[in-house]
Amino acid sequence: MKPNVSNDQLLVSDFKNGDASAFDALYWKYHSVVYNNIIKLVKDRDTAKDILQEVFIALWVKRSTLDPGVNIAGWLFTTSYHKCIDHLRHSVAGRFFTGELNIADESLDYRKEKEQENRFRLVQQAVNRLSPQKRKVFELCKLKGKTYEETAQELNISKHTVKEYLTAAMIFVKDYIHAQSPQSLISLLFILSILYPPLF
């Protein structure tokens, strides 16, 4: 394995070069946790399965343009998030045209959707500003759903250090969002629960 190159980066590089087995590996590595986040947004299993399929179809279609250094987990979650938002927007429009939703309701839902998109963007900005080691711990624990012990083993640090880094990262994210948009802090934990699955 090349130094400083993650397993995901190798998979993305192989996938970009036409290795279908690398695509399969990425699918089996991430499909479950991506699905769990999708269903938290759309609240419907069949819809969540459809969106999950769309996400991985998009990954396949865009394989030739992928940067091997891309955070593929982040790419999958961001793509799934926007597809969920598109679904919810179209759902709201459909309810309006069938008479199930009035203009006031549509306007309210749209404002809530835009607020959630802005909060999501703030979380992403905060995560990108973490130190490299804290960002790795944050992504492994919260984005990839790994336990403290699994994260400690992967990064070759103690479980106690993982807890310290994760706590510091969460405080930084909270403080960053509060500084940028105090009113968004109220919904921070909700957004994190959608964007990042809990430890198990």
Instruction: Kindly give, in sequence order, each residue whose CB lies less than 8 Å from that of residue 109, ignoring residues fewer than 6 positions away.
Output: 88, 92, 101
Question: What pLDDT digit, counting tens, does each position of 128-150 carry?
Answer: 888 888 888 887 877 666 788 88
In order, the DSSP letters of the chain are --TT--HHHHHHHHHHTT-HHHHHHHHHHHHHHHHHHHHHHH--HHHHHHHHHHHHHHHHHTGGG--TTS-HHHHHHHHHHHHHHHHHHHHHHHHHHTTSS-HHHHHHHHHHHHHHHHHHHHHHHHHHTS-HHHHHHHIIIIIS---HHHHHHHHTS-HHHHHHHHHHHHHHHHHHHHHH-GGGGGGHHHHHHHHSPPP-
Angle CA 157–161–164, to nearest 5: 155
> How far is C-alpha 92 from the geometric centre of its chain's CA atoms?
23
Q: Which amino acid is at 123?
A: V
> What pLDDT, on the 0 to 100 scale, is given for residue 25?
92
- Round to whole Å and give the CA distance between 68 and 22: 12
Q: What is the pLDDT along the chain (200 residues), one digit of tens a residue?
A: 344 457 888 999 998 888 889 999 999 999 999 998 888 888 888 889 999 999 999 999 888 888 878 888 888 988 888 888 878 776 654 444 344 444 444 444 545 556 656 666 777 778 888 888 888 888 787 766 678 888 899 899 998 898 888 888 888 877 777 777 655 444 444 444 444 444 33
Question: What length does the chain have?
Answer: 200
- Residue 85: partners with Cβ closer than 8 Å, 6 or more residues away: 41, 113, 117
pLDDT of residue 123: 72
Q: What's the rounded Cα separation, in Å, for the pair 132 and 134? A: 6
* Single-letter code of the amino acid located at 156: N
Whole-model pTM over 0.85: no
pLDDT of residue 56: 92
- What pLDDT score was predicted for residue 35? 92
